[in-house]
Every structure is written in structure tokens, then in C-alpha cells.
């Protein structure tokens, strides 16, 4: 049995698309894979309630609980690892998880950490990708699923979806169209990974 852990920070729209795809495509039956845990760093993340409603195991590791530690990020990541370890995850999916993970965490889960970024990497790493793409005058934006490395948004690209930038586009309008593609791209990338594991 393979276990996938999904890490979120908010409503978890990408998480929902992944879980719905796992149910519809019968990942449990076809790939002996289950969503073993949905974890959030924010106790108010509405995605946790949704996941509970699906009968999934959930956990909260609130990063704010570690702010008084000598090394807050290390203490938070150690708590993340402690929470994930009983699951022994085969894949950890970052789905709107709004914390940058250090090499301490990333190296522990090499080739097991997948992320989605709202641009056609390597272009427009970091934040405010949609406005930056519009300001740069490029004709296409999109989303990229990639393996997480020590450098933010610089890991090996797994799959991408292209979204045209329209005349007069706004950042919010472009973001909405890109998100629609993310909801198709991320489950597809994970399922393709599962297929490679099954062979």
C-alpha cells in the first residue's frame, strides 16, 4: 500500500481536485494507493474540515507554535516529520502549502516532494507570478508541477499546462484560468507518477 500525504494552508482547492480524482480513478484499487493524511500548518484551514468530511485522516502542525524556539523553522519541520513518519509517505504533495521548506526537510524526502507553481517554470519563480507575467508582456502563462529541491521553484519539472494571456488580462482573471488548469494538471501528474511506480 502506497501512502500520499497532502500539505495545505487554506481551502485546498488543488487538494480537493486530487482527492476527487483519486476516488473517481480508483487509485486504491488500481495502484494500491491511498490519501493517508491531509496536514495543514493553519488550524483555521477550511480544507481540513472538507478532508474530514471525506473520511480522511487529518493533522494540524501550527507553525506559530514554534515561533519562540531558538530555530523556529527547524522546530516546525521536525514536528512535521514527527507527524508524517508514522504514515511513511511514498509521496508528499504540496497543495497551497504556504511555508518554504528548508534543506533539512527537503533532503529527508528527496524525490518524494511534489509541488505546483502558477507559472511556466523556470519563468516567474516566487510570488505575484500572474501580474509579473502580464507586466513582462509574455503571451503565455500556465502552471508547473515539479519536484521540490533546495532552491525554491527550481526542481525538475514533471508536467506543465499552458494558459494564453489575453488582451487586457488582469492578474485575478489570469489566476482564475490558471487555477482551472491546475485542478486538471496536478491530479494528472500524480496519476502518471503512480503509473510509473506500478510498472
- The three cell numbers of residue 71 are 530555530
96 burial type by CB count under 10 A (0-12 exposed, 13-18 middle, 19+ buried): buried
**Hey, which residues are catalytic here?**
117
Alpha carbons 81 and 24: distance in angstroms, whole number: 30
From residue 121, give the alpha-carbon distance in Å to each of 35, 147, 154, 171.
27, 12, 8, 18
**At residue 20, what are phi and psi to the nearest 5 degrees?**
-60, -40
- The three cell numbers of residue 179 are 487555477
DSSP-derived secondary structure letter, 53? H
Placement of cell 516567474 in the chain: 124
List the beta bridge partners of residue 157.
Answer: 146
Amino acid at each position: 500500500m502506497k501512502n500520499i500525504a497532502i500539505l495545505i494552508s487554506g481551502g485546498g482547492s488543488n487538494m480537493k481536485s486530487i482527492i476527487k480524482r483519486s476516488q473517481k480513478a480508483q487509485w486504491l484499487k488500481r495502484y494500491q494507493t491511498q490519501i493517508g493524511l491531509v496536514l495543514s500548518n493553519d488550524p483555521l484551514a477550511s480544507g481540513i474540515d472538507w478532508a474530514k468530511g471525506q473520511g480522511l485522516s487529518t493533522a494540524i502542525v501550527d507553525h506559530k507554535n514554534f515561533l519562540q524556539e531558538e530555530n523556529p523553522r527547524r522546530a516546525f519541520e521536525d514536528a512535521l516529520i514527527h507527524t508524517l513518519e508514522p504514515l511513511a509517505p511514498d509521496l508528499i504533495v504540496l497543495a497551497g502549502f504556504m511555508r518554504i521548506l528548508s534543506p533539512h526537510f527537503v533532503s529527508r524526502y528527496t524525490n518524494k516532494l511534489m509541488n505546483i507553481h502558477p507559472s511556466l517554470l523556470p519563468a516567474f519563480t516566487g510570488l505575484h507570478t500572474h501580474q509579473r507575467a502580464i507586466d513582462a508582456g509574455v503571451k503565455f502563462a500556465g502552471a508547473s508541477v515539479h519536484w521540490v529541491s533546495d532552491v525554491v521553484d527550481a526542481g525538475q519539472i514533471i508536467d506543465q499546462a499552458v494558459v494564453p494571456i489575453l488582451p487586457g488580462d488582469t492578474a485575478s482573471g489570469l489566476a482564475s484560468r490558471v487555477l482551472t488548469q491546475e485542478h486538471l494538471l496536478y491530479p494528472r501528474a500524480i496519476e502518471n507518477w503512480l503509473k510509473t511506480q506500478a510498472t
